[in-house]
Chains A and B, each alone.
Chain A
Amino acid sequence: SQQGEEDPQALSIQEGENATMNCSYKTSINNLQWYRQNSGRGLVHLILIRSNEREKHSGRLRVTLDTSKKSSSLLITASRAADTASYFCATDGGTSYGKLTFGQGTILTVHP
């Protein structure tokens, strides 16, 4: 079964707006990662946040992690049409060997 659950399943916004996606998980984690997948292509790593971190930034991306609520959010600021893709959270579920488990994803559509 999947560890992470993304919300919403689909998000449609206009260029320039911010997009927020949420991820909830069930068990303790070593870290949580976000990936992007363009249609028909492989996944691309966006950002990794460790369990002892609360917030991390990378360019227009901001990730937060609340381990007490077992949730994370990905914020994309000033979105562009090129940000249109599926976004997945992946949890490293605390095993000794770094098992990455993906959620179902959020489909983001940014209209020009």
Chain B
Amino acid sequence: DGGITQSPKYLFRKEGQNVTLSCEQNLNHDAMYWYRQDPGQGLRLIYYSQIVNDFQKGDIAEGYSVSREKKESFPLTVTSAQKNPTAFYLCASRNRGSGEKLFFGSGTQLSVL
């Protein structure tokens, strides 16, 4: 079945540590996105990528980094510069087309130890 796989489901970060969240899709979608969700707030865009080897910052990119070396994969690294990383992280993808919706993974809950 086609879909988006995020791993791990739960992740814990120590002070000063970088952690990487995985996102893999087998939908052959061009565009991929990372969103952060905090309680009581909507989804906020961290980074997005339209094609391989290209990505753009979203509204809250500081303290995060991404790569897009393969069409299927768009990993997100939460660096030590992100001082408040505790949140639910959602990866999404979509195909070209005006009405094309976002497909989402099941999310990763990141907490700070």
**Chains A and B bind each other:** no
